[in-house]
A and B are shown apart, each in its own frame.
Chain A
Amino acid sequence: MARVALEQIGKMYGAVPAVIDLDLEIEDEEFVVLVGPSGCGKSTTLRLVAGLEDVSSGTIRIGERVVNRLPPKDRDIAMVFQNYALYQHMTVYDNLAFGLRNRRTGEAVIGQEIARAAEILGIGNLLKRKPRELSGGQQQRVALGRCIVRHPQVFLFDEPLSNLDAELRAHMRIELKRLRERIAVTSMYVTHDQVEAMTLGDRVAVMRDGRIQQVGTPLEIYNRPKNRFVAGFIGAPAMNFLEVRLEDAGGELYAVAPGFRIRVPSERAGLRNFSGDRALLLGVRPEHTLLGEPKPEHGTGFDALVEVTEQLGAELLLGVRAAGRTLIASRIDPETELAPHAPVRMSLDPRGLHFFDGATGEALR
């Protein structure tokens, strides 16, 4: 087992940077998820750690070793690919044995390891089959088995669930969690799916344009996004954003937009420095966008018009027009009757107010 440390790593494809000065430390047995939109450099980062690509600058350490110049086979890692990448011409057993045989492991030990992995993953009955005779979920299990048998220092996952249908993906997500309880290995997991990121990661690193935007536990990322991008990327339905100014009136701070004015709670007094004409973004998650007159502790309300409603059974999603924007509110009582274009009173949960610099998108605290 080992720590993985990426220090100032960069990767250029010709003149195009794919990864820029990336720092990331993964503790022993920690599970870190790299998440971001496509083309953000997350897969490239994983391939750099795997050794499938060479870094242009910086240092990669696995354990105490600098592995920059080591070929993939000497890095003591295992990787699961999006399309499983099973050896099509071999049986499942030979697929699992391939890595061990390359390391001159005895057949008896190989047999034991495969039996153990097959038991953990429930693929004991598939060992004699060829990959093309397996379903997507079964192939993914075999791919996981290929990692488990080798007892590597690091597991790398490259979007392992994206080729599965929604139901199977949810199922495999739970299986992956279970697997982690049985086999704790330092892991790097790449996905574009924020649900996977939130549910699987001990920590999550959100990437964009080759840079890490924020690293933290799923809750930190969710509750204290560092910038507008992270705030908008994590969470579904996505965070609402309103262009506002801060107004300092009689010792109270107000967030103001045309037709919209709410009081900022006093514990956010630090924001006073940003009051005046400075353009800010107010971010508020749908679950903090509340229907009805505000409770006393929720400050001031504002007027809005119903645009759409989406009935989900357990909750109602509500889209309202306020301050020239559409705001989405979630967790509305599904029994609520709301006609389109009806005027409603709304309020915002003061604990859920995020302010971002209008120009840089940085969170203001």
Chain B
Amino acid sequence: MTAATAAIEPGSGRRMADALAPGGRMALLVLTLGAILLLFLGPAVILVVTSLRPGWAVYYIYRGTAFTVQNYLEVFARPAVVHAFINSFVLATLATLFSLGVTITSGYMLSRFRGPIPRTWFGTIYLFRTVPYISWVLPLYLVDYYLGIYDTYVGILLPHIAVHICFFSWIMKGFFDGIDPSMEYAALIDGCTRWGAFLRVALPSAVPAITALAILSWLYTWNEFLFALILTGHNTAMITVTMAQFVTELGTQWNLMSAMAVLAMGPAVLVTVFAQKYVIRGLRI
């Protein structure tokens, strides 16, 4: 920044970085970015390298040149892993599909309507969000157990739908807050019912938001560990739990665990590459 622009923007003169010479500022920027990259990219790199090493070499990932894809083949040879992937995929997809219906409408209600029902609903999900997540697990286990749905799809699906609704209704409310309601008023006058205005005008305008929400919901369930650990057994094992089972009495099979972790990262990476525009919008709210 030159002296002239600094004079135009009086506030910027107080920034700490301005005490440095331009070269120093660049160095600071590079160092900061480097540190951030290292912090986030480093573990991923270590994970990928580990997944490509033979079992005896995982503790020396920076040495040696022995690489193999054997780990991936071995992981996929295990039926439990394949099942876990299928389970997680099905669960994440179903939970997203079922929850979206409620999330969208409840977000819309919170954004557009006042009165006792929206207030109560708001209080309910607020409560759910403020209570520590972990404290819901044990009661949910008991509920599942007494309903006889422990270790079934339904037993894990329902809690996930509930979490989606509570967590993502707020995000959906934020999206609808950003959509001008007068468009819906125009639709009401143009011959729509309240439902019609929602379905034909508000909903199509919210498609980008809904896409972002669907991705967030899906990834949430795909990545979720705690419910999967407590509420599922052998029948409906999820990837996050199955992955942890490479920790055995004989030691941790780091190479296999890494291979599975890399595979599990796949959807997240794909989403980041292809739909980041939507996801960023979702995270900003």
Binding site for B on A (CB under 8 A): 50-52, 71-73, 75, 77-79, 81-83, 85-89, 98-99, 102-103, 146, 150
Partner of A89, one of B185, B188, B205: B205
Contact A88 B183 (CB under 8 A): yes
Query: Which residues from B are CB-within-8-Å of A81?
Result: 182, 185-186
The tally of CB-CB contacts under 8 A between chains A and B is 62
Smallest CB separation, B267 vs chain A (Å): 28
Contact A73 B201 (CB under 8 A): no
**Top-9 shortest CB links A-B:** A102-B191, A99-B190, A85-B182, A85-B186, A72-B188, A89-B204, A73-B191, A81-B182, A72-B189
User: Restricting to B191-231, which residues have a CB under 8 Å from any CB of A?
Assistant: 191-193, 196, 201, 204-205, 207
Q: A87-B201, A89-B204 are in contact. Are A73 and B183 (CB under 8 A)?
A: no
Contact B205 A73 (CB under 8 A): no
Q: Name the residue in B185, B190, B207 with the highest tally of chain A Cβ atoms < 10 Å from its Cβ.
A: B190
**B187 touches A (CB below 8 Å):** yes
Cα-based distance from A81 to B191 in the complex (angstroms): 16
Cα-based distance from A171 to B30 in the complex (angstroms): 54
Contact B183 A86 (CB under 8 A): yes
Cα-based distance from A77 to B185 in the complex (angstroms): 12
Partner of B182, one of A78, A83, A102: A83
Provide 13 A-B residue pairs closer than 8 Å at the C-beta atoms, listed in order of the A residue.
A51-B188, A72-B188, A73-B190, A78-B189, A78-B190, A85-B182, A85-B185, A85-B186, A87-B183, A87-B205, A88-B183, A102-B192, A102-B196
Cα-based distance from A72 to B190 in the complex (angstroms): 8
Query: Which residues from A are CB-within-8-Å of B204?
Result: 89
Contact B190 A146 (CB under 8 A): yes
**B180 touches A (CB below 8 Å):** yes
User: Restricting to B52-85, which residues have a CB under 8 Å from any CB of A?
Assistant: none
Whose C-beta in chain B lies nearest to the C-beta of A50? Answer: B189
Query: Which residues from B are CB-within-8-Å of A99?
Result: 189-191
Smallest CB separation, B90 vs chain A (Å): 32
Smallest CB separation, B176 vs chain A (Å): 14
Cα-based distance from A71 to B192 in the complex (angstroms): 9
Query: Which residues from A are CB-within-8-Å of B182?
Result: 81-83, 85
Query: Which residues from B are CB-within-8-Å of A86?
Result: 183, 186
Whose C-beta in chain B lies nearest to the C-beta of A104? Answer: B191
Contact A77 B189 (CB under 8 A): yes
Q: Name the residue in A75, A87, A150 with the highest tally of chain B Cβ atoms < 10 Å from its Cβ.
A: A87
Contact B183 A79 (CB under 8 A): no
Query: Which residues from B are CB-within-8-Å of A72?
Result: 185, 188-189
Query: Which residues from A are CB-within-8-Å of B196?
Result: 102
Whose C-beta in chain A lies nearest to the C-beta of B206? Answer: A89
Q: A89-B204, A89-B205 are in contact. Are A102 and B186 (CB under 8 A)?
A: no
Contact B193 A71 (CB under 8 A): yes
Contact A146 B191 (CB under 8 A): no
Query: Which residues from A are CB-within-8-Å of B183?
Result: 85-88
Cα-based distance from A50 to B187 in the complex (angstroms): 12
Q: A71-B193, A73-B192 are in contact. Are A146 and B186 (CB under 8 A)?
A: yes
